[in-house]
Amino acid sequence: MIGIPAVSNSRKPLPVDLVGALSERFGARFQMGEAIRLEHGKSETHFAPMLPDAVVFAESTDDVVAVVNLCRDARVPIIPFGAGTSVEGNTLAVHGGVSLDLSRMMRIIAVNTEDFDCVVEAGVRREQLNEYLRDQGLFFPIDPGANATLGGMASTRASGTNAVRYGTMRDAVLALTVVTADGRVIRTSRRARKSAAGYDLTRLFVGSEGTLGIITEVTLRLHAIPEAISAATCSFETIGGAVDTVVQSIQLGIPLARVEILDDMQIRAVNRWSKMDLPELTTLFFEFHGSERYVEEQVETVKELAAANGGGEFRWAHRTEDRNALWKARHEAYYAAVNLRPGAIGWATDVCVPMSRLAECIGETKTDLERSTVPATILGHVGDGNFHVVFSMDPNSSAEQDEVATINRRLVERALAMDGTCTGEHGIGLGKQEYLVEELGEAVDLMRSIKKALDPQGLLNPGKIFQ
């Protein structure tokens, strides 16, 4: 595999004293074997593996404090690790060190049904949480596709299919318990739904990719499961027709719960991977939430708009199992796209632009893809102006990798020129560092100052977001 080593992987071996101390404190939960290090040092996408020197499996906030204190004294990097589903190399051990695996911290600490919130450990996964909540008539809406941990989702400011209606992790997180670089345990906020009490530390840690502190507990806003849920797909003659349907729906105040765009190539991939028979055209996947009457009203309006914009028939997924099959297919779209070629590896891009520029941005990108030799699909959260390209790359071809890198650069620069962002939801990690500076200029210096203030030794997930 080629992969992209974004920075040189210079490192010293772990100090013997640290190995002894971690081994004594954690026993079998401290591991240095090659296989487990590879599991924690590889990426789901195109980045070459960068292995940590060791892995510790934490089971409590106290465990995290212990790891932070021991590693700090030994000046060894700590890389928090959840499900490993991030796509910008966010958990790779650029400078070696200890991968701090929080996936065993999976207790659901409290569900406050009357307050529509819950408190979970950082390793709880979103599907686990929703299974737990279902009987109480509640759900947690943020859905990035992957069955990620809530701590990881907070760290990357994840969003996904429901963000158009329910917001992103920025909006969903009420409070965090964080272990700081100096080993203190802080809680960033109380459980009130809003607060004006000092700096917004919650939002500072959300999206900081483990570089400012280690999130060990997450307090989340929940929502009532709606009385009625309807999902449908609708094919369009043009990308512009699909995008215009969404823009006009939002202008009319329709609270679309989900609205996803998949281009013709992506539909072909989905049909093949998930054994579906959708027309191989640009398609919107819709979901509507509300009372029975209100969902009907929403559907009526959106159908009219779709028809006026060259949309075909709505294909409904009425039963819960049909709806689940539809969204499962959407969630597996990345794997479907990568597997357009056997043995290929994936590269998933991610930009977000103001809605008024979205059709243009997708259109120009589609032109680039049509000229490319690497198969690629477009899919995205069209209600937010956020979309991805997934490339299906030959792992042994550096020419393909260069070609994709060029298209990716063009895409990001196109988005920035439209006052958009280089990443809507994947984060900066290793892959977007130069673009972060292009996007925000000297504001990145402020980020560096904050990093230095909160992690003066630079031991928390070093080499991510910026060098």
**Residues 154 to 173 in contact with a second copy, rule: CB under 8 A:** 156-159, 163, 167-168, 170-171
DSSP label of 434:
H
**Binding span for a second copy by CB under 8 A among 75-83, 235-243, 321-329, 442-450:** 442-450
CB closer to a second copy out of 1 and 252:
252
Q: At what angle do helices 320-331 and 264-274 cross, to 10 degrees?
A: 120
Residue placing its CB nearer to a second copy in the complex, 329 or 454? 454
- Please report whether residue 45 would count as binding a second copy according to CB under 8 A: no
Applying CB under 8 A, the span of 22-30, 36-44, 181-189, 265-273 interacting with a second copy comes to 181-189
> Which amino acid would we find at residue 393?
M
Q: Report d(CA 101, CA 32) in Å as an integer.
A: 13
Binding to a second copy in span 240-259, by CB under 8 A: 247, 250-253, 255
Give the length of the chain. 467
Q: Which residues of 329-363 are buried (b: 16+ CB within 10 A; e: fewer)?
A: bbbbbbebbbbbeeebbbbbbbbbbeeebbbebbe
Secondary structure letter of residue 225 according to DSSP: P
Restricted to residues 286-305, the positions that interact with a second copy (CB under 8 A) are 290-291, 293-294, 297
**Shortest Cβ 32–a second copy spacing (Å):** 32
Q: How far apart are CA 260 and CA 180, in angstroms?
A: 38
Q: Give residues 53-82 in contact with a second copy (rule: CB under 8 A).
A: none
Q: Does 467 bind a second copy (CB under 8 A)?
A: no
Q: Is 208 in the site for a second copy (CB under 8 A)?
A: yes
Q: Does residue 36 interact with a second copy by CB under 8 A?
A: no
Q: Which of residues 84-123 bind a second copy (CB under 8 A)?
A: 112, 114-117
| Min CB(248)–a second copy separation in Å | 10
**Toward a second copy, which CB reaches closer, 22 or 359?**
359
8, 196, 277, 342: residue in contact with a second copy (rule CB under 8 A)? 196
What whole-number distance in Å separates Cα of residue 302 and Cα of residue 407? 34
Contacts with a second copy by CB under 8 A: the residue count is 93
**Is 444 among the residues that bind a second copy (CB under 8 A)?**
yes
Which residues neighbour 234 within 8 Å (Cβ) at sequence distance 6 or greater? Answer: 245, 283, 284, 286, 306, 311, 312, 313, 314, 315
**343 vs 354, beta carbon nearer a second copy:** 354
Maximal C-alpha separation, the chain: 70
Which stretch, 56-64, 75-83, 125-133, 184-192, contacts a second copy (CB under 8 A)?
Answer: 184-192
C-alpha 459/C-alpha 446 separation (Å) is 19
* Cβ pair 206, 154 in contact under 8 A: yes
116: amino acid identity, one letter? F
Per-residue contact string for residues 349-388; x = within reach of a second copy by CB under 8 A: -x-xxxxx---------------------------xxx--
Give the residue among 391, 347, 339 at the shortest CA–CA distance from 43.
347
Quick check: 358 and 137 in contact, CB under 8 A? no
439 binds a second copy, rule: CB under 8 A: yes
Nearest to 218 by CA among 152, 131, 147, 127: 152
- Of 177 and 392, the one with the shorter C-beta distance to a second copy is 177
Which positions from 395 through 424 interact with a second copy, judged by CB under 8 A? Answer: 415-416, 419-424
Residue 151 sits in the site that holds a second copy (CB under 8 A):
no
Contacts of 393 (CB under 8 A, 6+ apart): 46, 344, 345, 346, 347, 374, 400, 401, 404
Binding letters toward a second copy, positions 313-352, x by CB under 8 A: -------------------------------------x-x
Given candidates 80, 123, 207, 311, which one binds a second copy under the rule CB under 8 A? Answer: 207
